Amino acid sequence: KFRQDPVSDEIIRSILKAATRAASGSNTQPWEFVVVRDARVKARLAEPMLRTWLERLSSGPRMTGRMKEVYDDATEMLRNTEKVPAIIYCCIDLNRVSKSEEVRYASILPS
């Protein structure tokens, strides 16, 4: 369950600082981060994500056991997005992503 306690700017900065140090092939760092705290904005962003998520779930294989729990938790998270104190969206700039497969794997394998 998500807590609704406020998340301080200091904690958000700490998370973003750690995230910007993630490995990226050729040190391209092709990401941007967006922090959303406004409930209305979170709800507007969550609606299409939830709709797409539910469409994919309904067209995919039926989940059982632990995978069903994971997918149910993800669904619950999307249904309650506007209630969490902050969301950090990590966005990728495809113009800054290397076209080289080796470089792309260099971004993933160290993780």
Task: Please report which residue ranges of 1-111 form alpha helices under DSSP H.
Answer: 9-19, 39-59, 65-79, 101-108
* 4-58 tens-digit pLDDT: 899 999 999 999 999 888 776 666 777 889 999 998 999 899 999 999 999 998 8
Distance in angstroms (rounded) separating the CA atoms of residues 111 and 7: 26
63 — pLDDT class (breaks 50, 70, 90):
confident
Long-range pairs, 49-53, Cβ under 8 A, ≥24 = 49/78, 49/81, 50/75, 50/78, 50/79, 50/81, 53/78
Superfamily of structural domain 9-108: NADH Oxidase (3.40.109.10)
Closest Cα partner for 37 from 86, 109, 84, 2?
86
Q: Which amino acid is at 41?
A: V
Domain boundaries, the chain: 9-108
Give the pLDDT score at 52: 93
